[in-house]
Amino acid sequence: MDIEKVNSMDFGEFVDVFGNVIERCPLIAAAVWSQRPFSDVEDLEKHFFAFIDALPQSGQEGILRCHPDLAGRELQRGTLTAESQREQSGAGLTSLGADERLQLAELNAQYRARFGFPFVLAARLSGRAAVPRELARRLHCPPAQELRTALGEVKKIGRLRLADLFGADPARL
Ligand SMILES: NC(=O)N[C@H]1NC(=O)NC1=O
């Protein structure tokens, strides 16, 4: 895919293609479409991120709540989005032992109880051992800092998903 192709997409096609750049938030792609034309993929990415940054805290928390737990029930049930499924299996979360799954479920529950949204981490950038470690560490962070960290992870996930769509190297975005 190239940027000329993106700029020529009608609304429906654009939302079909980019609707899950931010997990289960096609509204963001819908809003970004009206800002076309984009000069390149970096410019497109900037519009996604600027939308997130401009939201009030309730909206930013809403975005986090659209994310499925890592190694959670949806992974077990096979109801993840295709992107999330790929990311979670790529990180080795599909092959956890029962003990590891239980440990993560407990940490996920503690995290959600403390912050009111699920723990979000760009799974593709960390291995399965790093997930419980990061979860346990971030569980003790101040809420305002944690919201910023979690949104930073949402952006990392979005960047990787955009890079996939463009067949680009995410380091160059
Ligand atoms: N909870 C959470 O981080 N979920 C996400 N992380 C990721 O890499 N893909 C997801 O769906």
- Looking at the fold, whether 46 and 96 belong to one and the same domain comes out as no
> What pLDDT is recorded for position 128?
87
ipTM, two decimals: 0.99
pLDDT tens, position by position, 97-137: 999 999 999 999 999 999 999 999 999 998 889 999 999 99
- Looking at the fold, whether 42 and 101 belong to one and the same domain comes out as no
Residue 118 near residue 28, CB atoms below 8 Å: no
Q: Which of 87, 111, 162 to mutate to test the pocket of ligand 1 (most atoms within 8 A of CB)?
A: 87
> What pLDDT is recorded for position 127?
85
Q: Report CA(148)–ligand 1 centroid distance (Å).
A: 16
pLDDT tens, position by position, 52-108: 999 999 999 999 999 999 999 999 999 999 999 999 999 999 999 999 999 999 999
Which residue, 48, 53, 21, is CA-closest to 34? 48
- Looking at the fold, whether 50 and 76 belong to one and the same domain comes out as no
Instruction: Render the burial of 148-170: b for 16+ CB within 10 Å, e for the rest.
Output: eebbebbbbbbbbbbbebbebee
The whole-model pTM stands at: 0.96
Ligand 1, atom 2, residue with closest C-alpha? 120
Number of domains making up the chain: 2
- Judged against a pLDDT cut of 80, whether residue 172 lies above it is answered with no
Q: Report CA(71)–ligand 1 centroid distance (Å).
A: 9
Range of 31's domain?
3-54
